[in-house]
């Protein structure tokens, strides 16, 4: 398996522009997570889906952020309009709660998208 796939790997944009980050989870995994990582705040959970349904979006900073999971193999995180404080590495992770005793806690992370908003 190729693991979790994220695109783009790097994104540089200007303040006010729309940014769309993409994620393809590991095939067969039914939980998907979006995280943001910064030096100041560490790794923060933004939202997670179970069976394509958003379960907890309490970590989404504000209305400028939205996430969708139209099917089991694809998810997007959109920021509109983007601001310089959104600059961070955004990770997507997937897990299979049915896999083993702690399958649900074994989250497989993608390589991340490094976002810079100028």
- Rounded Cα distance between 31 and 18, Å, is 26
Q: How far is the CB of 45 from other proteins (least distance, A)?
A: 6
Which residues are CB-neighbours of 103 under 8 A, at least 6 positions away?
A: 95, 96, 97
Alpha carbons within 13 A on the beta-carbon side of 74: 3
- Give whichever of 63 and 101 is closer to other proteins, judged by the CB atom: 101
Q: How far is the CB of 42 from other proteins (least distance, A)?
A: 3
* Residues within the interface to other proteins (CB under 8 A): 4, 41-43, 45, 48, 55-56, 91, 93, 97, 102, 104-112
- Give whichever of 81 and 111 is closer to other proteins, judged by the CB atom: 111
Q: How far is the CB of 81 from other proteins (least distance, A)?
A: 27
Task: For residue 52, give the nearest of 36, 68, 64, 40 by alpha carbon.
Answer: 68
């Amino acid at each position: 398996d190729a693991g979790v796939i994220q695109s783009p790997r790097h994104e540089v944009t200007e303040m006010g522009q729309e940014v769309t980050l993409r994620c393809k989870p590991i095939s067969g995994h039914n939980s998907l997570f979006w995280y943001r990582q910064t030096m100041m705040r560490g790794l923060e959970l933004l939202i997670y889906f179970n069976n394509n349904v958003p379960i907890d979006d309490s970590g989404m900073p504000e209305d400028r952020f939205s996430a969708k999971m139209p099917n089991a193999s694809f998810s997007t995180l959109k920021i509109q309009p983007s601001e310089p404080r959104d600059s961070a590495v955004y990770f997507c992770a997937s897990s299979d709660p049915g896999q083993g005793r702690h399958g649900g806690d074994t989250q497989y992370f993608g390589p991340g998208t490094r976002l810079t908003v100028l």
